[in-house]
Amino acid sequence: MKNINNINNKDINNNKINNKIYEKLKCRAELLLTFLNEHKRMPSYSEMMPLFSLKSKNAVFKIVNNLQKEGFIIKDDKGRIVFNSDFFSPAFSIKLLGRIEAGFPSPAEEELLDMISIDKLLIKNPVSSFLLKVTGDSMTEAGIMPGDYVVVDKSGTAAEGDIVIAQVDNAWTMKYLAKENGSYILLPANSRYKAIKPKNELVVAGVVTGVVRQYK
Amino acid sequence: MKNINNINNKDINNNKINNKIYEKLKCRAELLLTFLNEHKRMPSYSEMMPLFSLKSKNAVFKIVNNLQKEGFIIKDDKGRIVFNSDFFSPAFSIKLLGRIEAGFPSPAEEELLDMISIDKLLIKNPVSSFLLKVTGDSMTEAGIMPGDYVVVDKSGTAAEGDIVIAQVDNAWTMKYLAKENGSYILLPANSRYKAIKPKNELVVAGVVTGVVRQYK
DNA sequence: TTATACAGTGAACGTTCGTTTACTGTCAAG
DNA sequence: CTTGACAGTAAACGAACGTTCACTGTATAA
């Protein structure tokens, strides 16, 4: 650790240089991302040469090492490189910009590090998650409209207030899970529907962890 | 083309066999998908050997060719294999099951061919799309709640009825685009707000093509 | 039974991979 | 000016790659 009082001109200059180097690396990481989006796989070192406008594989090699040092990419046990999924999605990445009310960001503000994958955002557990298309309007007041897709995780344990996929009296439905007089009931998010109080047992098949809607 | 009248027993038997072969191929495609989700890259032939419980690289080679013949995967110009993106996402894939009211599908019904990527579903144009976090409740009745993310495509042309990100009178907002007396106005989807009739020009920055909500 | 088709084995081939070593030019610090 | 750090070039290396060839066993069709 460096004492804040000991920072001298050299450190400041180094930071300035390091930032410049970092910017160049980030630019090259973007080139890799473009290739990945286009080819659905990472380029080899030979393929990176024209990508980075270089004539030597060794130059690529050094750059890849620096990219790894900065955390952009990771080399797996076989020496193959993949994007660090903390920063990047292995597939489609999308720029996450600010909030709407905050004003529309200028292109210059578009930060590479804020690229995320919607898949990664919504799916914490790819194996036990699946998608269901919503029919019916019993959850419209919770913002879940007919035709939306819901991401369901069947491995999670449902808690009060969660939206769950449940089987009650031999029919499947999606409702809020709530408690009344010590027993679980299902609440719709539409004032035109009534709460469901299961006569028999309540089987919860999964917890809704996300909602996806697609406009044409 | 085969005439329907000419189908004989041999054809029927061949179909039965072909279905069995297809099932086995599909099963192996699933193994590849599992590897892909785990390692964020495709396995090499050597890595597929233990994956398929085989002892010969050539067996893998033949299987890969069959997978390509059936359209599961594609070999690019470098001979490297990637999943056919018509069927599979290169990243997280998620099983798309039926509709909720249709009953909950049994695991046996889970069809591999219905695996999709949410990214691919929502993002038609990765370059010109980005994500915005929603603040404010002016679109709640359209199912867009505060805290949701909206996918915005800035390359599309907005039409009447679209939800757009627009700059009006020096403020950014998300509203329905509508027409009144020949000029464009912005309609909120919340009865507590009024329509916006821009005094000056209306700048549409992008069209909302999707909505994403994440529950904890 | 014989013939045919096909999944899988095993060894070999040329190519490409990621990596290493040695060298060149450039730029800033001392 | 000298020196060190660093980006890039060029050539070479073993290892791993995708592919091919020859062969084995098994199951179905004639």
Q: Is A110 within a domain?
A: yes
Angle at B100 between CA B96 and CA B103, to 5 degrees: 100
A151 plus A179 within the same structural domain: yes
- Model confidence at A24, pLDDT cuts 50, 70, 90, reads confident
In B, which residues are within 8 Å of A82 by CB distance?
39-41
- Model confidence at A81, pLDDT cuts 50, 70, 90, reads confident
Which stretches of chain B drop beneath a pLDDT of 70? 1-21, 85-117, 120, 126-127, 170
Q: Are strands A202-214 and A149-153 parallel, antiparallel or unpaired?
A: antiparallel
Max CA distance (Å), chain B? 75
From B101, B119, B137, give the residue that closes a domain: B119
B20 plus B115 within the same structural domain: yes
A188 plus A112 within the same structural domain: no
Q: Are strands B73-75 and B81-83 parallel, antiparallel or unpaired?
A: antiparallel
Both tokens of B34, joined, read: 């599992």
Catalytic residue among A129, A175, A191, A199: A175
B89 plus B133 within the same structural domain: no
CA dist A75 → A61, B79, B160, B175 (Å):
12, 22, 49, 45
pLDDT digits (tens, 9 = 90+) for A28-46: 888 887 888 788 889 999 9
Among the listed residues A194, A190, A185, the one whose alpha carbon sits nearest the alpha carbon of residue A137: A190
CA dist B39 → A70, A74, B33, B57, B196 (Å):
20, 11, 10, 20, 49
Contact A83, B41 (CB under 8 A): no
Q: Look up residue A62 and give its DSSP letter.
A: H
A138 plus A112 within the same structural domain: no
Amino acid B18: pLDDT: 52
pLDDT digits (tens, 9 = 90+) for A83-107: 775 554 444 445 444 444 434 443 3
- Of residues A52 and B84, more confidence is placed in A52
Amino acid A86: pLDDT: 53
A200 plus A181 within the same structural domain: yes
A178 touches chain B (CB under 8 A): no
Contact A177, A142 (CB under 8 A): no
Q: Is A59 within a domain?
A: yes
> Does the pLDDT value for residue A58 go beyond 90?
yes
From A61, A90, A118, give the residue that closes a domain: A118
For chain A, percent of residues with pLDDT exceeding 90: 14
Residues 6+ apart with CB under 8 A from B130: A94, A95, A96, A97, A110, B151, B152, B154
Both tokens of A16, joined, read: 């300035």
Q: Is B124 within a domain?
A: no
Q: Under DSSP, is residue A25 helix (H, G, I), strand (E, B) or coil?
A: helix
**Distance, CA of A142 to CA of A163 (rounded, Å):** 9
Amino acid A85: pLDDT: 58
A48 plus A76 within the same structural domain: yes
Q: Given A90, A148, A215, which is nearest B40 (Cβ)?
A: A90
Amino acid B102: pLDDT: 38
**Distance, CA of B70 to CA of A207 (rounded, Å):** 35
B37 plus B140 within the same structural domain: no
A21 plus A99 within the same structural domain: yes
Q: Is A90 within a domain?
A: yes
B138 plus B208 within the same structural domain: yes
DSSP string across A79-92? S-EEE-TTT--SS-
The number of distinct structural domains making up chain A is 2
Amino acid A98: pLDDT: 45
CA dist A168 → A89, A141, A173, B100, B110 (Å):
38, 22, 8, 13, 22
Q: Is A170 within a domain?
A: yes
Residue tagged 């473009």 (tokens):
A34
Q: Is A123 within a domain?
A: no
B38 touches chain A (CB under 8 A): no
Amino acid A133: pLDDT: 78
> Residue A16: which CATH number?
1.10.10.10
A113 plus A23 within the same structural domain: yes
Amino acid B105: pLDDT: 43
A196 plus A92 within the same structural domain: no
Q: Is A147 within a domain?
A: yes
What are the residue ranges of helices labelled H in A8-99? Answer: 9-39, 45-51, 57-69
From B81, B97, B119, give the residue that closes a domain: B119
Mutate to test the interface with A, among B100, B125, B145, B168 (most CBs of A within 10 A): B100
Amino acid B19: pLDDT: 60
Q: Given B100, B104, B122, which is nearest A118 (Cβ)?
A: B122
Across the range A141-152, mean pLDDT stands at 87
- Domain of residue A107 covers 4-118
Both tokens of A143, joined, read: 């913002």
> Residue B202: which CATH number?
2.10.109.10
Amino acid B118: pLDDT: 73
